[in-house]
A and B are shown apart, each in its own frame.
Chain A
Amino acid sequence: MSLLYKNVKQLVFDIDEFIDTVEQGVLVFKEGVTNYINGDKASFADKIERINRLEAVADKLQRKIDDEFYRHSILPQNAGDIESMIDKIDEIIDIAKDNLYQFDDELPYIPNELTNDFIRLTDTSTEAALYLFPAVRTFFREPVKVKEMLSKVYFYEKEADKISRNIKRRLFHEMKDLELSQKMHLRYFALHIETISDKAECLADTLSILALKMSI
């Protein structure tokens, strides 16, 4: 009960900032992958640095939000669900950062025939996550409207699945010149990029259940 109005205002601000940070992280990931595929090394290095910074900010904010929820027993009946939701949001930026670092560490060779596919996969996968954030913001203000906002997330997730499968098929069926190791390598990168939309879908499921619980 010691939670004063001033603290609530700060916490609302922190949650909004946390969502904004993760959203920016996804955008940076999208740009970073495009930069890598286009061979723009300077911009790619810049994206790595930015996503690293954003992830650190998101982690700090998440810890702060968690602390506030526990200390003031905010929304006691739903605190656990909300914290797990925030955890899943943070996972998205963690994965985005890891994936970008994997590009930097492993330097996968992407043949020209597949560049467009990889760019499309990145766009679609990140799109699923980007459509999720407005729904998360709406959840805190109008839980009833969340469900209708999630349809695009599910759509883009399925699209990302299709593109990823298509890349894998082309790799193993059409790309005879590539070594098996290269094929395997690229297969994993398609999987890494696709993980962003998978996580978005998982979060969308959690969000829709939570919104339903809150609106009863």
Chain B
Amino acid sequence: MIILFYLSSGLFLGWSLGANDAANIFGTAVGTKMIRFKTAAITASIFVILGAVIQGAGASNTLGQLGSISTLAAAFTVALSAALTVYWMTRLKLPVSTSQSIVGAIIGWNFYTNNPTDLHTLTKIVTTWISGPILGGISAVLLFMLVKRISKKTKLHLLYRDSFIRYGLLLVGAFGAYSLGANNIANVMGVFTGAVDLPVIDLGFIQFDSTQQLFFIGGIAIAIGIFTYSRHVMATVGNALMPLTSEAAIVVVLSQALVLFIFSSQGLSDAFQSIGLPAIPLVPVSSSQIIIGSIIGIGLYKGGKEIKYNILGSISLGWVATPLIAGILAFFMLFFVNNVFKQDVGGDRVLIGSPEIIVIDSIDSTEYLLLEEFQDTSALQQTDTIYTSALQQLNEEKYAPEKTYSLFFKIMIIVLLITILVLLYYLWNRHQKFRLLKLQIKSVEHKYLLKIENLERSIKDKIHHHDDLGKELKFRQNEMVTMAISIIHKNEFLNDLKSEVAKIKSGAKDYDTRLELNKLSLMITQDLSIDRDREKFQMHISEQNSNFIHRISEAFPSMTGNEKRLAVLLRLNLSSKEIASILNISPKSVEMNRYRLRKKLKVEPKVGLNDFIRGF
């Protein structure tokens, strides 16, 4: 249980690696919906674990050469300081890599425990940090050229190409995940390999040693990171570096996978050596930086217009700032763990409080024996000079490396200060830029608010105008109804008058009177049939309802003029009798016309004709 507690910092580092670095592999594929997140996450998790267990040892050994952390407390502290550095720098949106962070933390441990840092190993590691992105860029260009040539020659149907790209992205992603597991598991669990010794698990056909078990646990932490958090990163960061086509995405991921594989494959390194080539350094490298190198490579191949060159500066800053911050943090955290929690952090470092002990403790045991031997051989008794000179010589020999060490330490402090100043300047500059950006965003927001205000005002005006138009329309409709009613009244009056005249005519015996009454009846009939008011009214309603007439004519091109007129009158909500009076036809004819119109407009039996027309 206590081991699990100590491993927690490494597992946290593994989780953040899974959450962020899986996006480098499947980000574009998931972001562009070529592959579903579930498929990507399952594939990445399986292959990350496989890569970690099968091929993770190589890069881990190199980290061990840099600093062999032998106690659990130290391993926990180193991994925690690396994880906190990654977390803090990610929050500040600074370029960060777990590889660089863990290397810095190990060097911090070296400093704290007075453990000499193997400069050869350090040089090897730093060289791969620089060569990794360059190699990524070169391989990306070569692969991109190859893919272009193949796609030109094959003339595949777009859909077949799409299908192949999907499978390609999945395969390359699986390879990328395997290589990520193989190379980067050292960052997660590498520091624990010297401190934890688990019993070998024998499954009969295969055995898992302590390191492989640790890597398996680390692999699971990465997988959890992929499942729990990488979805968000994939969706948002998918195309953040540069918009990539699907083919370019395959190339970039493949190039990253190849570089990670090269720097983690013991077999490949052995093969190189067997043909007389130098061994490949097996070093954990930053997958993000290889991706950036690959994208820049493709960008340069395309003409270099799309590249944001300031990203190169960010990578360089990451090379210096990340290990430095992690190193300093590890140093102070180790001090804290060592002196507050009284935990053994390995190396020669013991608790603060007795300088003599430190001096004695720091003397190499062989040197101490030599001193005793020297004292025993009576040289001390014989001459003080010999003793003094011997002691002086011994002291010189003993403190000579310390002098060099102190010089190195001074230089390091100066470099550290300069770097911190540069970093502070960078942060300040970044802060200023953010401030400016915020101001710009505010001004844009203000502009948009003004626009919205204007739009709202214009909408209000439109609504007002619409209301006015509605009122006018209502007024016009009322006008028409009034006009129709006056026509109806007039016609009714004329009809009454006509029947009265007919009555008088039937009772009149005088020939002249009958003739005059006949004339009067004819005049009334003429007035009823050629009614100017009615014509005027019909023109008026046609004009007022021109849009409605147009709409209904478009929908039912076979409608006749009379039917359109009837539709307009129905729209005014006039009864059949009233319509009959306006059109000077019998109400029965109006009913028949209504029936025909209903059939022509295909009005359903449940729906009223008036409602249908008014809703048109």
Contact = CB atoms under 8 A, between A and B. Distances in A.
Nearest to A145: B155
A39 interface: no
Contacts of A184: none
A141 B39 contact: no
A2 B35 CA distance: 9
Given A73-B33, A76-B33, A216-B245, A5 B157 contact: no
Among the interface residues B159, B160, B163, B246, which one has the most CB atoms of the partner chain A within 10 A?
Answer: B159
A12 B245 contact: no
B159 A76 contact: no
B156 interface: yes
Nearest to A75: B162
A214 B159 contact: no
B32 A74 contact: no
Given A1-B34, A140-B159, 8 more contacts: A1-B39, A3-B163, A8-B159, A12-B160, A76-B32, A139-B158, A141-B158, A143-B158
A11 interface: yes
- For the complex of A and B, 8 pairs with smallest distance between CB atoms: A76-B33, A8-B163, A73-B33, A140-B158, A75-B162, A8-B159, A1-B39, A12-B159
A3 B36 CA distance: 12
Contacts of B155: 141-142
A11 B159 CA distance: 8
A77 interface: yes
B170 interface: yes
Interface string B528-556: 00000000000000000000000000000
Interface string B453-476: 000000000000000000000000
Interface residues of B, number: 18
Interface residues of A, number: 19
Interface in A184-216: 214, 216
Contact of A74 (B36, B156, B159): B159
B157 A74 contact: no
B304 to A, nearest CB: 16
Interface of A: 1, 3, 5, 8, 11-12, 15, 73-77, 139-143, 214, 216
A15 B163 CA distance: 16
B398 interface: no
B159 A1 contact: no
B594 interface: no
B162 A1 contact: no
B36 A141 contact: no
A8 B158 CA distance: 10
Contacts of B490: none
Interface of B: 32-36, 39, 155-160, 162-163, 166, 170, 245-246
Nearest to B158: A140
Contacts of A143: 158
Contacts of A3: 163, 166
Contacts of A76: 32-34
B166 A1 contact: yes
B163 A5 contact: yes
Contacts of B166: 1, 3
A180 to B, nearest CB: 19
A141 B157 contact: yes
Given A74-B162, A77-B246, A216-B245, A1 B36 contact: yes
Contacts of A73: 33-34
B555 to A, nearest CB: 16
Contacts of A214: 158
B159 A75 contact: yes
A216 B170 CA distance: 23
Contacts of B163: 3, 5, 8
Given A1-B35, A77-B32, A216-B245, A141 B156 contact: yes
11 contacts: A1-B36, A3-B163, A8-B163, A12-B157, A12-B159, A75-B158, A76-B33, A77-B245, A140-B159, A141-B158, A216-B245
Contacts of B36: 1
Given A1-B39, A1-B166, A8 B160 contact: yes
Contact of B170 (A1, A15, A74, A140): A1
Contacts of B32: 76-77
B169 to A, nearest CB: 9
Contacts of B33: 73, 76
Nearest to B243: A77
A140 B159 CA distance: 8
B164 to A, nearest CB: 9
A86 B470 CA distance: 43
A104 to B, nearest CB: 14
A5 B166 CA distance: 11
B364 to A, nearest CB: 63
A3 B167 CA distance: 10
A141 B160 CA distance: 10
